[in-house]
């Protein structure tokens, strides 16, 4: 395995551990995506729901724009290797 692949693997493993820790502690995990409009992101919650959100005008809260159905959420997780 070359150095770049090793670094990618270390980074991916760290993200998976962070996701597990956040969800286990009852907190949402943010999933950024180039497929979403600017300033939109996914939030995955411990109950396995995923919402598309943006920051509110005061930049202290999120505004929910859409809630993915179970199939969409599973496809998203799979596309990011988060299953």
Q: What is the mean pLDDT of residues 55-67?
A: 93
pLDDT of residue 42: 98
37: DSSP letter:
P
The two three-digit tokens of residue 49, written as one number: 């729901």
Q: Does an H or E element contain 75, and which?
A: helix 70-79
Whole-prediction pTM value?
0.86
- Mean residue pLDDT across the chain: 94
pLDDT of residue 51: 98
The backbone torsions φ and ψ at residue 9, rounded to the nearest 5 degrees and listed phi first, read -65, -45
- pLDDT digit string, tens, across residues 29-57: 999 999 999 999 999 999 999 999 999 98
pLDDT of residue 59: 86
Q: What is the mean pLDDT of residues 19-32?
A: 96
């Amino acid at each position: 395995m070359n150095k770049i692949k090793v670094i990618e693997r270390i980074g991916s493993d760290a993200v998976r551990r962070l996701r597990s820790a956040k969800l286990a502690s009852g907190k949402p995990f943010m999933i950024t995506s180039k497929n979403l409009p600017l300033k939109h992101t996914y939030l995955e919650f411990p109950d396995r729901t995923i919402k598309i959100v943006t920051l509110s005008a005061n930049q202290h809260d999120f505004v929910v724009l859409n809630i993915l159905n179970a199939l969409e959420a599973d496809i998203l997780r799979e596309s990011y290797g988060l299953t």
